[in-house]
Structure 1
Amino acid sequence: MTLSNQPPKGTSDWFPEELIIRQYIFDVWRRVCRRYGYEEYLTPLVESAEIYRAKSGADVGGKELVTFTDQGGRELSIRPEMTPSVTRMVSQIYDSVSKPIRFFSIANFMRNEKPQRGRNREFWQLNVDLFGSTSLQADTEIATLALDIMLEFNPPAHSFQLGLNHRQIINEVLDLSGVMPGKKQAVARLMDKWEKMGFEDFKSALLDLAVPPNGVDRLAGFLACDSLEYLLSQMPELSDNEGFLATSQLINTLTSLGYGEYIRFQPSVIRGFDYYDGMVFEIFDLHPDNLRALFGGGRYNGLSGIFGKQAFPAVGFAPGDETLRLFLESWEMLENIRVTSRPNISFLPLLSEDLTSEVWQLAKHLRAKGLAVELGLEVVRLGKALEYANKKNCQQLIVLGEEEFKNDIYKIKDMVSGQENEVELL
């Protein structure tokens, strides 16, 4: 039997050229998170399946789980997201450490979903979370951190936008629309994807959930609002809603900090996970060829209660590597990243069998000084060595041939400028 040399569906092999892009994204994530004082952590690749079934929603906590039973009869899942895992982890230490707790991680995940553009079964994700503060300042910090990550990529103007909403606004709108308590989660999930459904299908699905016709119209009107001011003119009942007031204050604060052009109130931002209970947001790519949500997050104060302790406040977000790569691709930023992020490698060819020991000694000396040196393993002519160094995009060619050895020197040729320098052989 001949085995396929392709990776499983929904997963990818990462060759060096593409890994450069992903590593660049990871480096940006780490740099900005550390700038804000966040500490890196990691959790196990697997968790109890019940953690996700309890709070991750019908899809992620159900049909998309990749599960197995271990030798002790416990049902485990490969993690499909990080939030329940880090909440479990923090619940171990929450009472004994100073607050707030600022954590981030970069990890891989698996969901048994249909692969599509920007969504693979295996994916990598940054998770940023702040635990232990109910303050609006914590929401502000998380929002600015997300925006600063996007700005760290140095994207063109008007290339992305952060859409803000609040679960307390959504809950009151559901009440005003006559949605029965037991139907709220189902209606919220419909609202989360109403733009993909089209209005008629959305309306029909709401009626199937026993939403009254005037409630359907009210929900549609809510989703069409493009500002808090317009929303208030349509639903004055929201004037004393805590979520409305918090969102208004958050937008004002972000605007005063210089982020105004990147943010807006967006009622269609619902977030699919069942654990969000406060501020929610999504960042959108505005390129016409890639109009999509890049990532999102929000406040989830109640999630930690599933671990048997008093719930503690939390807020966070999680961008994925593939959606950000598509963002960079849409705005034609990838090639520059490949060029500027390529490692600086020098090629040291073996030009004479008689100089094998000397070439190895030179490579050892240069590596000890911090230079990345790729060593030729077969004897080649200088012309072939130049050709190879060009193909590999090496920054320098280091030459130690018979003539150089006689003169106790080696040469360093810059492969970009062509400039050549002689260095004394030690």
Structure 2
Amino acid sequence: MSAKGQLSKQPPRGTSDWWPEEYKIRKYIFDTWRSVCERFGYREYLTPLVEYADIYRAKSGEDVGGRELTVFKDRGGRELAIRPEMTPSVTRMVSQKYQALSKPVRFFSIANFFRNERPQRGRNREFWQLNYDIFGEESINADMEVIQAALEIMLAFNPPQDSFVVYINDRRLINLVLEAIGVKEEKERVKLVRLLDKWDKMGEKEFREMLIDQGVGDTQVDGLMRLMRVGTEEQALSQLGLDGIQEVLDQTIHPVISGLSDLGYEKWLQFKPSLVRGFDYYDGIVFEVFDKHPQNNRSLFGGGRYDSLTCLFGERFPATGCAPGDETTRLFLEAWGLIGKLEKKERRTRVFIPLLDKSLMTKVMMLAGRLRGGGEVVEIGLSEQKLGQALEYANKKGFQKVVFLGSQEVSRGVYVVKDMKTGAQEEFELGV
């Protein structure tokens, strides 16, 4: 308040007023996010603006879950926090009814958050994020779908083909290196992972000096520097030379990159062994979407698998997801001249394509992509199902149409569409 008693006309530092012209841009971003998520069969939810502070302190890291956390006490003396992220919140929510939910659970939300950090380009104290997650599916197919949805979100803005790249890694590779250089205790491992996450923000010399300043020994520094310089699968095997690396490559990284490449996304994918992601709860596949524009060369958003986070609420279950942010997305659109008006899309019939034969996963995803491209809302099965199970699931979830694509249909070059209300079936040319 000024000397004359006049209140400030400006919003608090790190927050913004969205006048109609700006809100139109943000709404375009939000509606694009929502459109892609709904086409993949994700259902929208929302959690409270405040949570018990401890759910963020446990696994969100020393920044988001510590110094940036805005904490207060309610009238009962309980410590609450304004949510700084959604992942712990939605995990808490799902854990309430996990056993009763039909799996896999596909949820998404678009909500605002607050972190008491220093405002800078692309990072505000108040910000909005899309969070979309799959719960209850441990197969690598769930991770593939999450990354595919991230790619489709980016492509929905119609950017130049070479405007971004998706880096992919597995946290287990990082853990193998840490074990090899003698890092055994969880507290020390978490500390080093947080330091490694700063690699892209500084030069190699500065990074090495930071490690030394933090008390990391020479042998450990050398081992970490070898990891951060690795750029390919071949280098990961030859330069790191650790037992277990081939297994991780074969189990997750190669199948994910190969599977997504088969779907036509190869030009945007790159293996990056130095990719960490800063949150403590990641424990499997991690990925990051990176803007290649010279004026905005930065991470846009990312995600990954976080099965271990679910243990905080009593029961471990599979979980993987992604969280694009509004401010970094806006900077991407601005850098590439892509800011435009929202074009509303008509909502289509909800379609389910079960995985009747696990060897046909790529064909199922290709067909789903084609139908989504026509504006249909399409959900696919991620685990192999028998026909009866698929129909029971479709009935329970209220799908209007079910598409059958089994080995017999593929051999004949067709797929079959069943109307769940009338029972009528019709064949269409497969073409994938």
Residue of structure 1 in register with 2:369 after alignment: none
Q: Which residue of 2 aligns with 1:204?
A: 209
Q: Give the Å deviation of 1:195.
A: 3.0
Quote how far apart the aligned CAs of 1:200 are.
2.7
Partner of 2:418: none
Q: Report the 3-state secondary structure (helix = DSSP H, G, I; strand = E; otherwise coil) of the residue aligned with 2:58.
A: helix
State how far apart, in whole Å, the 2-side matches of 1:310 and 1:269 are.
28
Q: Does 1:247 align with 2:253?
A: yes
1:112 aligns with 2:116: yes
Aligned equivalent of 1:273: 279
The residue aligned with 1:225 is: 230
In structure 2, what is the Cα distance between the partners aligned to 1:232 and 1:106? 40
In the alignment, what sits opposite 2:179? Answer: 175
Q: Are residues 1:2 and 2:14 paired?
A: no
Asked if 1:327 corresponds to 2:332, the answer is: yes
Quick check: 1:15 aligned with 2:19?
A: yes
Q: Equivalent residue for 1:314?
A: 319
Q: CA RMSD in A?
A: 1.6
Cα shift at 1:291: 0.6
Could you tell me how far apart the structure 1 residues matched to 2:233 and 2:148 are? 20
Alpha-carbon offset, residue 205 of structure 1: 3.4
Structure label with greater radius of gyration: 1
Query: 1:78 is aligned with what amino acid?
Result: I
- In 2: Cα distance, 1:168 partner to 1:244 partner: 10
Q: CA deviation at 1:241?
A: 4.7
Shift of 1:175: 1.7
TM-score (norm 2): 0.75
Alignment-derived partner of residue 125 in structure 2: 121
1:372 aligns to what?
none
1:294 is matched with 300
- Kindly indicate whether the alpha-carbon contact (under 8 Å) linking 2:173 and 2:245 is maintained by their aligned counterparts in 1: no
Q: CA deviation at 1:318?
A: 0.2
CA drift at 1:107: 0.3
- What one-letter code is carried by the residue in structure 2 that aligns with 1:325? R
Asked whether 1:40 is paired with 2:50, we answer: no
Aligned match for 2:200, one of 179, 190, 195: 195
Q: Could you tell me how far apart the structure 2 residues matched to 1:332 and 1:314 are?
A: 35
Q: Which stretch shifts more, 31-40 or 199-208?
A: 199-208
Q: For the residues of structure 2 that align with 1:212 and 1:66, how far apart are their CA atoms?
A: 34
Judge conservation of contact 1:183–1:209 (CA < 8 Å) in 2. Answer: no
Shift of 1:97: 1.4
1:150 paired with 2:150, answer no
1:88 matched residue in structure 2: 92
Alpha-carbon distance between aligned partners in 2 of 1:239 and 1:302, rounded to the nearest angstrom: 20
Q: CA deviation at 1:250?
A: 1.0
The worse-fitting range, judged by mean Cα deviation, of 159-168 and 223-232 is 223-232
How far 1:202 moved relative to its partner? Answer: 2.3
Letter in 2 for 1:275: Y
Per the TM alignment, residue 236 of structure 1 is displaced from its structure 2 partner at its CA by 3.2
Alpha-carbon distance, 1:152 to partner: 0.7
User: What residue identity is the alignment partner of 2:237?
Assistant: L
Aligned equivalents of 1:228, 1:275: Cα separation in 2:
24
4+ runs deviating over 3 angstroms: 207-212, 238-242
In the alignment, residue 253 of structure 1 is paired with which amino acid? G
Q: Is the 8 A contact 2:158 2:338 kept in 1?
A: no
Contact 1:232–1:238 at 8 Å: present in 2 too? no
What letter corresponds to residue 267 of structure 2 in structure 1? E
The 2-side partners of 1:201 and 1:322 are apart by: 28
Aligned to 1:257, what secondary structure does the other structure show? helix
The reply to whether residue 130 of structure 1 matches residue 158 of structure 2 is no
Q: Go from structure 1 to structure 2 and tell me whether the alpha carbon gap of 1:240 and 1:156 turns closer, same or farther (over 3 Å shift).
A: closer
SS in 2 for 1:295: strand
Whether 1:49 aligns to 2:53 is yes
Secondary structure in 2 matching 1:319: coil
Structure 1 CA distance for aligned equivalents of residues 188 and 323 of structure 2:
27
The answer on whether the counterparts of 1:38 and 1:104 sit within 8 Å (CA) in structure 2 is yes
Residue deviations 1:293-318 (CA, integer Å, cap 9, x gap):
000110000111111x2211100010
Shift, 1:235, TM fit? 2.3
CA displacement at 1:23 relative to structure 2? 0.5
Distance 1:210 1:9, change over 3 A: closer
Q: Deviations over 1:58-100 (max 9, x none)?
A: 0111111111111111111110000000000000110111111
**In structure 1, what is the Cα distance between the partners aligned to 2:329 and 2:197?**
21
1:233 aligned counterpart, secondary structure: helix
Q: Please state how far the C-alpha of 1:210 moved relative to its aligned partner.
A: 5.3
CA shift for structure 1 position 239 = 5.5
Q: Which residue of 1 aligns with 2:405?
A: none
Q: Could you tell me whether the CA contact under 8 Å between 2:230 and 2:272 is conserved in 1?
A: yes
Q: 1:63, 1:7 → 2: CA distance?
A: 22
- Is the 8 Å Cα contact of residues 168 and 242 (structure 1) preserved in structure 2? no
Shift of residue 341, structure 1, vs aligned partner: 5.7
1:289 corresponds to which letter in structure 2?
Q
Q: Distance in 2 between matches of 1:263 and 1:146?
A: 12
Residues in 1 aligned to 2:46 and 2:16: alpha-carbon distance in whole angstroms: 22
Q: CA deviation at 1:242?
A: 3.8
Match of 1:68 in 2: 72
Q: Percent identity?
A: 57
Q: Distance in 2 between matches of 1:341 and 1:21?
A: 12
Which segments of 5 or more consecutive residues in structure 2 lack a partner in the other structure? Answer: 345-432
Change (3 A) 1:224 1:27: same
Find the partner of 1:160 among 161, 164, 170.
164
